[in-house]
Structure 1
Amino acid sequence: MKKILLLLALATSLLGCKNEPEKEIPITHQIAKANGLEVFDRVKELQYTFNVKANDTLRTSRQWTWEPKTNMVTLTTPDSTITYDHKSEADRHEWVDQRFINDQYWLLFPFHLAWDDMEYEYSEKATAPISGNEMQMVTVKYPEGAGYTPGDMYEIYFGEDLMIREWIYLSGGSRENPFPASWENYEDFNGLKIAKTHKNKNGSFELFFTGINVVMEDRVTE
């Protein structure tokens, strides 16, 4: 009799596990996955040039090489080349590291939605700031004391395909000087979907990437 009761209890337990709904994937992680998060662990080297135009004048251009697996970062400018370990030498190269974080953030922001510690709030319908189109929106906020710009907030507008189309950057979480920008000109680089161009509403500001090259690790097959 004890054996029968034990089997019934086990069967009930298994049925309960089977019927339990799977934990929903956070919308932030869904966006990261749609942009190629699952292949990022195979990235050996990432090369790109960060450019900023203001009123059709090129104001900034920085060429980067980043090796995610070794944390090595190289900044190349017309005047110099600096290489450092982003994990262990960031304090010694703070000026460079701040710019690396900024430039890489614009390039790979969708992945930071899964990588970083942040709070988020999802809205099914919202009006995008530049196009005026109705989109989904997620608002994310970094905690105080996080990184170089603690408390920063972003309102992210995206479509059914989970691709970001526009955002509003709120420095330190303040709404006094919101900075809206587009996310456009997407291209697939070995599975990473990257928006190469960002503009403000009147086009007087343009942030764009050139020379993007994603080197993947070779798969070992048996």
Structure 2
Amino acid sequence: MKKLIILSVLISSVFTACKTDQKKPTIAVVEDTELTVLEKIANANGFENWKDVKSIKFTFNVDRDDEHFERTWLWKTSSNEVTMMTRQDTITYNRKAVDSTMTATDGGFVNDKFWLLAPYQLVWDQKSFTYKHTEGVEAPISKSTMHKLTTVYSNDGGYTPGDAYDYYFGDDFIIKEWVYRKENQSEPNMTTTWEDYKTINGLNISMMHKRPDADFSLFFTGVEVK
């Protein structure tokens, strides 16, 4: 999965001066810019608060049948320092300088962060994929009528180039279901719910993802946002 920019509002200031050279107050003219569907989804999940985040810590959990897997991450966003903590090991590295010895660890971080912050990745990654927004589509799990956003990543760069994701969401732009399709194949590789949303320091995060066709749940615990 992957590794994006909010369109800034264009502000122009108009200055006028009277004959006495006395300056009048500055008038800021703001041009409204229509948000893209990517930005609407991100903002519905608190993306405007991300600028205040200094660090985020979370434990990525997967229960599959009788097996349990987990790993904990601490991401210091300003320095891009990442620490992975498991029962076996603790590894700290900087994402600005990932070498071959850190590729597997960083790939795990990118995967787990994508599940946690996919609505934000839509903005962070928007130069890395093409997308299509369709209304009035039947969602694969609930069979409810929703919006559908399909993103297809480019074949260049990243850990899983060419992959596609179908996001299903309502008029509130909150993701309810999604489909992962490896290398943009037509058949889904994984379909899960997005549920149990919690707001933590302004970030709206889905804590639970379940598959309808398997004894599988992917969820987050110990989420801390500072």
- TM (norm. structure 1) is 0.84
Deviation (angstroms), 1:95: 0.9
1:88 matched residue in structure 2: 97
2: distance between equivalents of 1:182 and 1:197?
8
Residue 118 of structure 2: SS of its match in structure 1? Answer: helix
1:140 matched residue in structure 2: 151
Residue 96 of structure 2: SS of its match in structure 1? Answer: coil
What residue identity is the alignment partner of 1:185? Answer: D
1: distance between equivalents of 2:65 and 2:194?
19
1:24 matched residue in structure 2: 34
**Residue 36 (1) aligns with residue 51 (2):** no
Structure 2, unaligned runs of 5 or more: 1-28
Deviations 1:140-187 (A, max 9, x none): 111111311111111100011110000010111112443111000000
What residue identity is the alignment partner of 1:142? Answer: Y
2:181 matched residue in structure 1: 170
1:104 matched residue in structure 2: 113
Residue 70 of structure 2: SS of its match in structure 1? Answer: strand
1:77 matched residue in structure 2: 86
Deviation (angstroms), 1:203: 5.0
Distance 1:22 1:123, change over 3 A: same
Deviation (angstroms), 1:22: 4.2
Residue 87 of structure 1: SS of its match in structure 2? Answer: helix
2:75 aligned residue (66, 84, 90): 66
Deviations 1:40-71 (A, max 9, x none): 0111110000000112431x100110011100
2: distance between equivalents of 1:177 and 1:184?
20
What residue identity is the alignment partner of 2:64? Answer: A
**Residue 48 (1) aligns with residue 58 (2):** yes
**Residue 155 (1) aligns with residue 136 (2):** no
1:204 matched residue in structure 2: 215
Distance 1:90 1:178, change over 3 A: same
2:194 matched residue in structure 1: 183
Given that 1:62 and 1:75 are in contact with CA atoms closer than 8 Å, whether structure 2 keeps it comes out as yes
Deviation (angstroms), 1:205: 1.1
- TM (norm. structure 2) is 0.82
Residue 38 of structure 1: SS of its match in structure 2? Answer: helix
Deviation (angstroms), 1:202: 3.6
1:12 matched residue in structure 2: none
Given that 1:90 and 1:97 are in contact with CA atoms closer than 8 Å, whether structure 2 keeps it comes out as no
2: distance between equivalents of 1:139 and 1:177?
12
Deviation (angstroms), 1:24: 2.3
Task: Give the number of the structure whose residues are more often helix, by fraction.
Answer: 1
Deviation (angstroms), 1:88: 1.2
Residue 41 of structure 1: SS of its match in structure 2? Answer: helix
Structure 1 vs Structure 2: percent identity of aligned residues?
A: 40
What residue identity is the alignment partner of 2:178? Answer: W
2: distance between equivalents of 1:90 and 1:29?
32
Deviation (angstroms), 1:79: 1.4
Structure 1, unaligned runs of 5 or more: 1-17, 216-222
